[in-house]
Structure 1
Amino acid sequence: MATGTGGSAGGGGESATVSRIRDAAVARFARDGFGVGLRTVAADAGVTAGLVIHHFGSKDGLRRACDGHVLRILREEKTRALTDGTGAMLLAQMAQVERFAPIVRYLLRSMQAGGELARELVEQLIVDAEQYLSAGEAAGVLRPSRDRAARTRYLAYQNTGSMVLWFTLHGADAEPAEFAGLFRRYVEQLALPALELFTEGLLVDRTMLDEYLMFVPDPPPAGPEDRTAS
């Protein structure tokens, strides 16, 4: 039961077995949550529960491996999009959006479950996001921020929060095939307003920002727009 977003390593051997178990776990945890047992994951992967323990040590160890795999896929795809910055890249990713449904659902399950592992996952997601936003700035695709870390955290909370809310209201427990369709619907509903907001902005002038920067006791350094205005 592969995720379709990275898949198992080709060929045989121990590495392929580890990848097959991990992919099966991502798909099963995404579908049924983290309450499922290792025997269920092992059956999906075609191995024994003992072999899962041998490779991952524990259920938490397996989950951390799944977290790392999901984060790697997100990091690679986001870096590609934010350093390319073309409409062709956007449309190509939207055309195959269903293949990301399993990892999105996995993230959704993690945030719904809460706890220390979910916190670790979100914090690492934010660390990764700051890196690919920085890469986007260096590529000239993104505007620099006065406080990149704060902007990154805001965007991460905004994006993950909207995802949790939307799917809670529209079918978080849907069957996998149905969930893929729901994910496309989610992306298509948000694509236009998100792109409009990120490219054209929302406020017609910077009055509120300027007032806020005057109000806070230690404002961040001036950005390019501040220097231009001066």
Structure 2
Amino acid sequence: MRIAPAPDERPAADLTARARIRDAAIACFAEQGFDASFRTIAQRAGVSPGLITHHFGSKEALRAECDAEVLRQYTAVKTDAIDMPSEHLLRYLADPGIAADLMVYMLRVIHAGGEPARLFLERLIDRARGVMARSVEVGLVRASRDEEARLRYMTYLTMGSLLVQFVTSPGQTPEEFVASISARGQDQILPTLELFTEGFLNDRTALDDYVRYLWQPPDDQAGSQSQTA
């Protein structure tokens, strides 16, 4: 199965040394985790380990630049889906639409946990904020009573689902993992679209009750009634 290239993928010869190192690091971190050495990254980029130190200084600085590039390319894929959602869905059925290294890199960051994972998720949510706003603007999705809460929920839902599949598929290369979730996705597309388009509950009683609770919790209601009495 062919894995779709990242939106701005260019021949290595067209990239600067710094960009080649960054892209090689993304691939190595996706394949091996963040213990991948400068020597391994340098070999993949076709440079010396010393050149990595010259450009980035430390692995933390290199990771920060990798994070930014992965988020930029992921956002580009999501933004493209807004303008032609049906076509994007059909392409996804045959091809995940995002480079395997990018997807697995994101999952490794989150799986590693700690402050780096928290910051990465916050940046992912920040990027997704513009995508969601545009989706509402063009009428692709409904507006929410609480856009921020919905945005965070959707991000956690998406990344959490992928992370479950990632940690239960050990030993796969990034390409093998993305191919496997694409194959399994055939069984997930219909229930996902059905749930998000037609809803899940038969009536809106639970939603209406909760919205009333948000605007006037029981304690406030009791206070209002006592004052009235």
When the two structures are superposed, what TM-score results if normalisation uses the length of structure 2? 0.85
Structure label with greater radius of gyration:
2
Give the Cα–Cα distance (whole angstroms) in 1 for the partners of residues 80 and 58 of structure 2.
33
User: 1:117 is paired with a residue of what secondary structure?
Assistant: helix
What does the per-residue CA deviation read over 1:65-115, in whole Å, with 9 as the maximum and x for residues that have no partner? 111111111111111212433x22221233331653221111111111112
Partners of 1:129 and 1:21 lie apart in 2 by 27
The residue identity in structure 1 corresponding to 2:82 is: L
Q: Assess, with a 3 A threshold, how the Cα gap between structure 1 residues 102 and 186 changes in structure 2: closer, same or farther.
A: farther
Aligned 8 A contact 2:30 2:105 in 1 = yes
Q: Which residue of structure 1 aligns with residue 143 of structure 2? A: 144
Does the 8 A contact of 2:30 with 2:108 survive in 1? yes
> Structure 2 CA distance, aligned partners of 1:103 and 1:186?
19
CA distance in 1, matches of 2:11, 2:53: 20
Identical aligned residues as a percent: 40
Other-structure match for 1:37:
37
Pick closer, same or farther for the CA change 1:77–1:203 going to 2, 3 Å: same
Q: 1:46 to 1:136 in 2, by over 3 A?
A: same
Specify whether residues 41 and 119 from structure 1 end up closer, same or farther in structure 2 by C-alpha distance, changes over 3 A only.
Answer: same
Does 2:54 align with 1:54?
yes
The unaligned stretches of length 5 or more in structure 2 are: 218-229
Residues 30 and 106 of structure 1 are in contact (CA less than 8 Å); yes or no, is this contact kept in structure 2?
A: yes
Task: Give 1:39 deviation, angstroms.
Answer: 1.2
**Could you say if the C-alpha distance between residues 89 and 178 of structure 1 is closer, same or farther in structure 2, counting changes exceeding 3 Å?**
closer
**Which residue is equivalent to 1:226?**
none
Report the Cα offset of residue 48 of structure 1.
Answer: 1.0
Aligned partner of residue 47 in structure 1, secondary structure: coil
Q: Which residue of 2 aligns with 1:128?
A: 127
Q: Does 1:178 align with 2:176?
A: yes
Report the Cα distance in structure 2 between the residues aligned to 1:177 and 1:161, rounded to whole angstroms: 19
1:9, 1:19 within 8 Å by CA — same for their partners in 2?
Answer: no
Q: 1:99 to 1:136 in 2, by over 3 A?
A: closer
Higher relative contact order (CA 8 A, sep 6+): 2
Report what 2:74 is aligned to.
74
Say if 1:8 and 1:19, in contact at 8 Å, map to a contact too.
no
Q: Is the 8 A contact 2:29 2:36 kept in 1?
A: yes
TM-score by length of 1: 0.85
Distance, in Å, in 2 between the alignment partners of 1:80 and 1:51 is: 35
**1:16 shift after superposition:** 1.9
Distance 1:47 1:218 in 2: 63
Return the letter of the residue paired with 2:75.
R
2:223 matched residue in structure 1: none
Q: Which residue does the alignment assign to 1:7?
A: 9
RMSD of aligned residue pairs (Cα, Å): 2.1
Change (3 A) 1:181 1:47: same
Q: Which residue of 2 aligns with 1:187?
A: 185
**Structure 1 spans left out of the alignment, 5+ residues:** 220-230
CA 1:22 to 1:94, structure 2 compared with 1: closer, same or farther past 3 Å? farther
